[in-house]
Every structure is written in C-alpha cells, then in structure tokens.
Amino acid sequence: MNICIFLGAGASAAENLPIQNELFSSYFKHNLPKHPNSPMNLKLRDFFKEVFNIDVLNDNIDEINFPTFEEVLGILDMADQRQESFKNFGTDTYNINNGSIGLLRQYLILLTANAINKASKESNKYHELLLKNLRKSNQLLNTTFISVNYDIHIDNTISKLYDKKKMRVMLDYGVDFTNFDYKSSSWKKPVGETIKLYKIHGSLNWLYCPVCSSITLTPYEGGVMRILNNQKEAKCLNCKEYTVPIIVPPTYFKNMSNLYLSTVWNKAEMALRDTDLIVFCGYSFPEADIHIKYMLKRVQTSRNNKSLKIMVVNNHENKLESALKKEEMRYKRFLGNDVIFTKASFQEFAKNPSKYIDLSFKDSNYIDK
Ligand SMILES: [Zn+2]
C-alpha cells in the first residue's frame, strides 16, 4: 500500500514555527529593530508606510492588524505581471527613486525565510515521532512526503535516519543538485532505498543559480539566509555566481516556470497517481492554492480503477468547532463526501500513524479521534 503524507503549515506549527499571519509581526518585532537602517529594512519600512500606512519601526507591533504574506506578495506579483506600479514602487528602475517591485519581492521572501529559519533550529519532535512510528509499522518506505512548507523540519528528520550499517535509506528531493558533481560535498546522490520528499513551494535550503540554471543544496541549514547575511557564501557551487531563493508563496499569480520546481510538481503528481491514501496533515485547503487543487482533481479523476482514500488531520488545541466544520465542508465540497475528516491533530497522528492509516481502510468515514 502506498501512502502520501501531505504536510501543510499546521505540521510545522506543531514544532512552534510562526504561522503565516505571524510572520510580519515576528520579523518587525524581533529582527528589524536590530538593523532598522539596512537597505532591506529601509525598503520594507517605506513599503509598509506607503502602501499599508503602518510604521513598522514606531507603531506598537502587537496592535497592528497586518495584511497576510499572501496578500502582499499577491499584489506585487499582479503589478509585475501587468507591468503596472504602486506610487513610489515601480516595475522598472529608470527612476532611481523608484523602489523596484522585483527587489521588494525578494526582500519579502528573505523576511519570511528569516522568520522561519530562526524557529526551524528548535525542535523536530513530532516529525521525528512520525517517522519513527511509520518505520515501526513498516510503512515508512511506502510513504512519500509532499510538503508546501519552506522550513526544513521534515528534511532534517529524514536525512538523520541514514545509518551506514542499520538503515541506508536516503532522502530524495526529486531533483539533481550541483552537490552531486563534487566529491568533497557531503550531500550525495540518493541511491538504493530512498524516502521521497517533494517540496512543491521550494525550500529554505535550495539556492538557485539563474546563470547556469543549477541548484545547490545547503544540507541541514537554511542556506537562503546566506543571501541576506553573507552573500559570498551563497554562491553557485558550479559557476560561482550569486544565487537566489526558490521560495514560492501560495498566491494565485505565482510563477511555476522554474525548471526544478516543475520537476518537483511533476514527480508529486506521479506519486499521487500511484498512492492508495493521501493524508493531509496541518493543511487547511486554502483558497489561494488553486494549483494544488488542480493537481488533486486531475489525480482523483484518473485512477485506472485504483481507489483513492483521502484523510484529513488538521485539528489543534483551541480550534473552534465552527472552524473545523468549515474546513470539513471545504474539503468535502471539492474532493467529495468520502473524505475522512478526523478530529486528530498532527501530534496525535505522529504518535500513532498506523491507527489512522488502518482506520482509513475500514468503512467509517468519520473518525472521532
Ligand atoms: Zn551557476
């Protein structure tokens, strides 16, 4: 039996990562005051003041109702796509007083990376528990992970499994990194038994080189932070040019044309076609993820007589019953009434995944816990 575990922001939140709508407040409260006049921070301050009338340096951050990351990136992407501008923020650089939208976009991505990276270093407790328990019930090697998160909780947990004697299982991201060409690199091409992890919105440890179109991996480390802190360390392993992050926020207008990302999407789709069960963990099925909905619908409607079970694990402490109900409706209206909507949290699933996996193959389409 093949299983796909689809990891959303809620799975990372279980490891105390800030959720999307806390990213701005977390950055402006803790990071910006340290270097308020760096080029990046000056640009971000101008942008929030001009466009959202928020003074991120002097206002009381706790009382501000920030726009979401998706809203901010969404309007910038749209301006870029339509070749239009916001006052003082243009799509071209003829006027040097005009902040370029492309640059601002990069800064916002680095801001996110910064907020996530800091928290990523803390714990992987529930991800570790999940892998350990899947392994115990012999389900680990049949499991493919698909993640929309940029953080490296699941990555680090999988790559730590490798043991030369006991378990030679390697992490396979589905793309070839420049690292594979260098003997000195600690990251080798996966061979033999592998665990697949497809990160469909990119990753904090991927550095893309737009000059030679290659991708360098920074093992165990959110290497994207080097672009911000020490650009010399963020060079392409191949041609030594400066790299850029592959971090694609879930907006309606995102650009999926990157070669590596489309490879990852393609492999994710193939894995989904071949799976018997998809378990959505910590994923709330947001409106903005139309690309994901499109992929799921295609996969669900061409099954070659193989049935597909879908299970949702997205509860957490203090979640309102009404919110849960809405989420259930959202899943069922799109994927059908057979969706098994549990009341379990990611933590509970991680503690005993086979209980839920086994239940999904029984008749009941509603599991209390
Ligand atoms: Zn290069």
Per-residue model confidence as pLDDT tens digits over 112-141? 888 777 666 668 899 999 999 999 999 999
Q: How far is the CA of 146 from the centre of ligand 1 (A)?
A: 27
CA 240 to ligand 1 center in whole angstroms: 6
Output the CA 176–ligand 1 centroid distance in Å: 14
CA 182 / ligand 1 centre spacing (Å): 14
Structural domain includes residue 139: yes
> Domain check: are 73 and 141 in the same one?
no
User: Both 38 and 88 in a single domain?
Assistant: yes
Regarding whether 57 and 195 lie in a shared domain, the answer is: no
pLDDT of the residue at 49: 95
Rounded to whole angstroms, how far apart are CA atoms 24 and 108? 9
Among 120, 136, 163, identify where a domain stops: 120
Instruction: Tell me the CA–centroid distance for residue 82 and ligand 1, in Å.
Output: 30
Residues 57 and 179 in one domain: no
Range 280-294 average pLDDT: 91
Q: What are phi and psi of 249, to 5 degrees?
A: -70, 150
Q: 78 and 197 share a domain?
A: no
pLDDT band at 300 (very low <50, low <70, confident <90, very high): very high
170 strand-pairing partners: 194
> Is 221 among the domain residues?
no
Give 153 Cα–ligand 1 centroid separation in angstroms. Answer: 27
141 burial type by CB count under 10 A (0-12 exposed, 13-18 middle, 19+ buried) = exposed
Distance 84 CA to ligand 1 centre (A): 31
Q: How many domains is the chain partitioned into structurally?
A: 2
Q: Report whether pLDDT(31) > 90.
A: no
Q: What mean pLDDT is reported for the chain? A: 88
Which one has a higher pLDDT value, 47 or 102? 47
Q: What CA–CA distances, in Å, run from 276 to 3, 142, 143, 311?
A: 6, 10, 10, 11
Which pLDDT band holds residue 172 (cuts at 50, 70, 90)?
very high
- Distance, CA 212 to ligand 1 centroid (Å)? 4
* Short-list 280, 254, 292, 263, CA closest to 339: 280
Q: Tokens at residue 30, please?
A: 């803790």
Do 82 and 193 sit in the same domain of this protein? no
Ligand 1 center from residue 150 Cα (angstroms): 22
* Pair (131, 181) in one structural domain: yes
Q: Which of 82, 104, 120 is the last residue of a domain?
A: 120
Q: Do 297 and 224 form a contact (C-beta atoms < 8 A)?
A: no
Structure confidence by residue, pLDDT tens digits, 12-23: 888 877 766 788
Same domain membership, residue 52 and residue 159 = no
Give the residue-averaged pLDDT of 67-87.
84
Q: Give kind and range of the element (H or E) at residue 13.
A: helix 9-13
**Across 195-210, average pLDDT:** 94
Question: Are residues 292 and 343 in contact, defined by beta-carbon separation less than 8 angstroms?
Answer: no
Cα of 179 from ligand 1 centre, angstroms: 12
User: By residue range, what is the domain housing residue 359?
Assistant: 1-16+123-202+250-369
Whether 242 maps to a domain, the answer reads: no
Which two tokens mark 294? 């499109």
Q: What percent of the chain has pLDDT over 90?
A: 56
Residues 1 and 47 in one domain: no
**How many Å lie between the centroid of ligand 1 and the Cα of residue 9?**
31
CA 172 / ligand 1 centre spacing (Å): 22
Distance 141 CA to ligand 1 centre (A): 34
Domain closes at, from 61, 95, 120: 120
pTM for the complete prediction?
Answer: 0.89
| Residues 157 and 114 both lie in one domain | no
- Report which DSSP code applies to 161: T
32 and 81 within one domain: yes
Whether 63 and 168 map to the same domain: the answer is: no
